[in-house]
Structure 1
Amino acid sequence: MNNPRVIFNNNTTDAATRQQHPGINQPGIEITEDEMWVVNETAYSQKPQGITVHFYRPSDWEYWDTRIYFYEDNNILMEWPGALMNSQMYDNWLTYTIYGVDNPKVIFNDSKNKQIPGVLQPGHLVTQDVWYKNGSWTAYEPTD
């Protein structure tokens, strides 16, 4: 088959929780090369570079609903409360890799009323892989 098209979805028919890219009634993403990467709705011919953000979830935050929201200067890139972070089962570290944004500013939240940095504070600028734990940002995984 020459140049097939693909559609990604979360395998549910429930209209309230269904997610699909491209959207309903839109053509699929055309596959034009032997290997392609689709990240955040953008197709790449090779694995794109990304910035991985690691967040140590505070004990009073909702484990399954911890999110990362990011933007770049005055460019809003997503809707609040942001994207779910990925868990590493059985510990409190959550991760998310940001692709296609050079200087993202990040805010963590629990989708309810807790967030870091606080309300009306700017997001934290990240330019490389970072770890956040107990108020500290580091370029390496904290050992304590």
Structure 2
Amino acid sequence: MSGPIDARLADLGLTLPEASAPAANYVSYVRSGDILYVSGQVSAENGSFLTGKIGADLTVEDGVHAARCCALSLLAQVRAACDGDLGRLKRVVKLTGFVNSTADFTDQPKVVNGASDLLVEVLGDMGRHARSAVSAAALPLGVAVEIEGIFEIA
């Protein structure tokens, strides 16, 4: 299906990845009424994980890019949950971002801004959301960023 969100993604030169399957005994998303809970999406691009620790071998800018990739994966899961119709997305409610960073790194919010900014760029006001951005000593597969989301859908 194609709609305004798909058109905006195309205008921005962005392509959503395929929604990934869960890697263990959980599901990629759960719908409860009009609320969609999307499991954490790890930083990946073109089938490869974006790995590393911000503040050690990765810069804030690397982290921002990784967070943008997570946001695209979140939208891919929303699209899958909505049977391919992103037009059913009403708003982004909340993101929780986990940043694989050194103990002295304190710019986790700047990193997670990559996801927040992308969602607002693509969705406008319905992309504005509540958010948490926290440090993690390590993340699955050594990825740089993992972000989970809560969305309202029709």
TM, length-normalised to structure 2? 0.26
Higher strand share: 1
Highest RCO, 1 vs 2 (Cα 8 Å, sep ≥ 6): 2
Higher helix share: 2
Which of the two has higher C-alpha Rg?
Answer: 1
TM, length-normalised to structure 1? 0.27
